[in-house]
Amino acid sequence: MTSPAVLEELAEGRPERSAQRLALVRDLPILAIEPPIVEIVQAYVRHRVMPADPGGDALHLALASYHRCDFLVTWNCRHLANANKFGHIRRVNVLLGLFVPALVTPLELLGDDDEPESQ
């Protein structure tokens, strides 16, 4: 699954590159931005879980939490895939009665091709 927020980010930059990025996700279902998600974003900002950028990290996390996604895959290791922030994110999600997705980088999710195979 993906979201309108992700599609907006993928569309940025050079048109030929953005077209390639968007093509990679064109067949994925798109998560809806339901009215409670706006309240969740505001709660993340209020609890200082995420920066006050309503279309950014807080929205990504709110969508994944509200829609009960198992994983939120991101290259953002400052605010999302950050072990030092995960406890705070988990506490706020529990306080809000939300699911806590695993916050991982693509490499964590897919593994490293350089690892030797098990015998």
Instruction: Locate the domains of the chain by residue range.
Output: 4-12+21-107
| Measured distance CA(16)–CA(64) in Å, rounded | 28
Mean pLDDT of 36-43: 95
Give the pLDDT score at 110.
85
Q: How confident is the model at residue 118 (pLDDT cuts 50, 70, 90)?
A: low
Least Cα distance to 39 among 80, 100, 98 occurs for: 98
| Measured distance CA(1)–CA(4) in Å, rounded | 10
Mean pLDDT of 85-100: 96
What is the number of residues in the chain?
119
* Residue 119 clears pLDDT 60, i.e. is over it: no
What's this model's pTM, rounded to 2 decimal places?
A: 0.84
The Cβ of residue 41 has, within 10 Å, a number of other Cβ atoms equal to 25
